[in-house]
Amino acid sequence: MGQALEPSIVWFRIGKPRHAVEYGLMSKRQFVCYIIINGLVAIGTIGAVVVALFSGSLKTKFFPPILSLELLSDKGEEEKLGSGNGPEGRYYFLQLENKRRWSKATEAGLHMLRLQRRGPDREWVTEWAGDLQFQCRDQNLYPLQRDIGGPIDYEVLSVRDGKPPELRLYPIIVPYNLTVVSKQPWEFVAWFQGRSSEVDSDVVRLQVSWDGRWESGETEMQNHLQIKPLNPSSN
């Protein structure tokens, strides 16, 4: 003979829908355990769904990445060109960083939106406007668009020693109507923005003034090239 059930009993049914079912009896204690276990399973399932959603579109919607764009240094970085025996060059970078690293910024890059040059009357003249992607440091080692967590440096321009020296911009593709190399004094303002699939950074306007000369040395070169971000309200 089996063990007698407790006086309080509950009818239950098991089986899948549209299939034969079996009926039986369970004690109230067994029934409570059954409810608790199935409740925990349901909570776990719902939790897994919430986590999956939050790690994707919901996280991006409520906690999007925060892109920050700033000039790495107004002094630039000096390096030898080629194998190290060639002429010197000084490179200037914008740094793009995701301030909320746990929320990934995907397919990100640095884009130039406009370039204005100083005209003969000292007024600013728009030479080019559009959307032009710039290359990052050591671009040949990376894809054109990258996921951003930590900071990534993008090459904006360089000044190279030579006869004569030259100033060069570093877009990945060069439009026919945009000047990217000059061997003459050059003064311009360029609009830059970090862009990703999720968000964009604030626009950074860089004013560059070069007198057409090269001089080795950090301090000495600042006498010939000045690069500075402009306030949003500046003209």
From the CB of residue 193, how many other CB atoms can be counted at a distance below 10 Å?
19
Task: Count how many Cα atoms sit within 13 Å of the Cα of residue 40 in the half-sphere of its side chain.
Answer: 5
Look at the block and give the residue holding tokens 């050591």.
138
* Low pLDDT (below 50) residues in the chain: 1-2, 5-12, 14-23, 233-235
E strands within the chain?
Answer: 9-14, 22-27, 67-71, 77-80, 88-98, 105-118, 124-134, 146-148, 152-160, 166-169, 181-182, 186-195, 204-210, 225-230
pLDDT at 102: 85
Kindly report the pTM of this predicted structure.
0.73
pLDDT at 30: 66
pLDDT at 180: 96
Look at the block and give the residue holding tokens 């407790």.
6
Asked whether the beta carbons of 181 and 99 are under 8 A apart, the reply is no
Using CA atoms, how far apart are residues 96 and 192, in angstroms rounded to an integer? 11
Using CA atoms, how far apart are residues 172 and 152, in angstroms rounded to an integer? 16
pLDDT at 79: 82
Look at the block and give the residue holding tokens 């949003």.
232
